[in-house]
Amino acid sequence: MEDIIHLQQDNLSYYKKFQDNLDQRQSAEELCELQAIQHQFNLQIRPLIETAREELCQHNFHTGISEETLTFNQYGNETSFVVGLIMHMADLPVSDNSQVNDNIKSSNIIRFHRVDGSREIECQFSNSKMQSKI
């Protein structure tokens, strides 16, 4: 009977270590995906959106940029990662007497965001009447 109990404890210990190892690997993989996504946002998408915003402002359109973040907690250390960028745009240019606002929210948006659980980024165009995805 003691041998059976000892064998059961060994099995439980083995499966606990296996589960801990699996959890660590999944955590490391998720961290790697978030780092890759943030890299794409910072080096490719953010410069594109900021350039588009500058062009729109030069043509007297109100614009704004906001970001979506995800907080990753590993071993008690929290790190925020950018997982989405949204550019808001006004429908019409402002009149000659008004100053262009570069920090607005609008229903006219171009949204780049991470597809959950992957390294892919999706782009959405939407306004109050339609929505499309790329």
| 91-126 confidence digits (pLDDT tens) | 777 776 566 565 666 778 899 999 987 888 999 888
Mean pLDDT score, 29-39: 91
Q: Calculate the CA dihedral of residues 26, 72, 126, 132 and round it to 10 degrees.
A: -10
Return the DSSP state at 99: P
Q: Does the global pTM surpass 0.85?
A: no
Return d(Cα 112, Cα 42) in angstroms, integer.
12
Query: What is the token pair recorded at 75?
Result: 């071993």
- The pLDDT confidence band at residue 6, using thresholds 50, 70 and 90, is confident
pLDDT at 34 over 60: yes
Residue 134 has pLDDT above 60, yes or no: no
